[in-house]
């Protein structure tokens, strides 16, 4: 059975768990990271030299990096659904996965870290305010894109929605000045209709 190492409150692990649930793929999850440790052991680092989560073992095939893992599982088990069969739609899904990784997430990650994982007196609120503007600008771009479609590549849910869906959940539930992104909010509500998202990615409160 597919093995996944990683604590369930990590965004990068959530992408993989949500993807597996969409594909109705059985898996065994082993807690790793932060209070669970494991990720810094020599055994784990032999699989993933970065000492980060997630890592998967699919019948002896070891893979780390959450987005390649999502792409691999989607292509293997969801070609024509989660992984679009049409090369152009697939490139579009890939594009939005990379957009998540390069545009909102580098700014959203430190906001999340400050507000959720850092003691009140140690938070850098000036940084949070500055980065919130950058994430809001990215979310405005996404909002304009979603004005004309239900999901990032069109009317069908694909792997392209997985990282963005995880980021949108954090963005809309963090106590920050977001501005107005009604299409992003409608998208979040649409994702909440998916049992797999509710079970693995829309996990509140944020921890
Ligand atoms: N680019 C990597 C990043 C992995 C990463 O930064 N994982 C974090 C959790 S989200 C981690 O392992 N942190 C150390 C820990 O949890 O102990 C991916 O997408 O898989």
pLDDT for the residue 112: 98
- Is 101 close to ligand 1, i.e. is its CB under 6 Å away? no
Question: Coil, strand, or helix at residue 42?
Answer: helix
Residues 60 and 137 in one domain: no
Percentages of the chain per state (helix, strand, coil), in multiples of 5:
55, 10, 35
pLDDT for the residue 159: 98
Residues 190 and 93 in one domain: yes
Contact 18, 161 (CB under 8 A): no
Residues 142 and 72 in one domain: no
pLDDT for the residue 91: 98
- Is 12 close to ligand 1, i.e. is its CB under 6 Å away? yes
Residues 152 and 122 in one domain: yes
Residue with tokens 């932060």: 34
Residues 102 and 72 in one domain: no
Contact 125, 132 (CB under 8 A): no
Pick the residue whose CA is nearest to atom 10 on ligand 1.
10
Q: Which residues in the chain land under pLDDT 70?
A: none
pLDDT for the residue 170: 98
pLDDT for the residue 178: 95
Q: Indicate the residue among 31, 46, 77 that finishes a domain.
A: 77
CB neighbours of residue 194 within 10 Å:
17
Of 12, 45, 68, the residue with max ligand 1 atoms within 8 A of its CB, to mutate for a pocket test, comes to 12
pLDDT for the residue 87: 98
Residues 92 and 193 in one domain: yes
- Is 10 close to ligand 1, i.e. is its CB under 6 Å away? yes
For the record, the structure tokens of 34 come out as 């932060």
pLDDT for the residue 174: 98
Range(s) of the domain holding residue 70? 2-77
pLDDT for the residue 175: 96
pLDDT for the residue 48: 98
Distance CA 196, CA 23 (A): 9
- Is 183 close to ligand 1, i.e. is its CB under 6 Å away? no
Distance CA 146, CA 190 (A): 12
- pTM equals 0.97
When divided into structural domains, the chain yields a total of 2
Mean pLDDT for all residues in the chain: 98
Residues 68 and 96 in one domain: no
Residues 93 and 159 in one domain: yes
pLDDT for the residue 147: 98
| Per-residue pLDDT tens over the stretch 104-120 | 999 999 999 999 999 99
Residues 132 and 151 in one domain: yes
Contact 110, 170 (CB under 8 A): no
CB neighbours of residue 148 within 10 Å:
8
Q: What are phi and psi of 67, to 5 degrees?
A: -75, -45
């Amino acid at each position: 059975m597919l093995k996944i190492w990683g604590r369930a409150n990590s965004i990068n692990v959530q992408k993989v768990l949500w993807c597996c649930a969409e594909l109705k793929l059985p898996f065994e999850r082993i807690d790793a990271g932060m209070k669970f440790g494991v990720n810094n052991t020599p055994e784990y680092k032999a699989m993933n030299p970065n000492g980060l989560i997630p890592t998967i073992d699919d019948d002896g095939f070891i893979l780390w990096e959450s987005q390649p893992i999502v792409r691999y599982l989607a292509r293997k088990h969801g070609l024509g659904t989660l992984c679009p069969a049409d090369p152009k739609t697939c490139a579009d899904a890939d594009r939005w996965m990379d957009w998540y990784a390069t545009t909102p997430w580098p700014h959203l990650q430190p906001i999340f870290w400050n507000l959720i994982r850092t003691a009140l007196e140690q938070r850098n609120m000036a940084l949070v305010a500055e980065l919130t503007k950058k994430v809001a600008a990215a979310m405005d771009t996404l909002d304009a894109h979603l004005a004309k479609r239900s999901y990032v590549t069109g009317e069908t849910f694909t792997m392209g929605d997985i990282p963005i869906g995880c980021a949108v959940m954090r963005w809309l539930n963090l106590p920050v000045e977001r501005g107005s992104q009604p299409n992003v909010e409608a998208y979040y509500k649409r994702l909440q209709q998916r049992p797999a998202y509710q079970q693995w990615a829309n996990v509140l409160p944020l921890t």
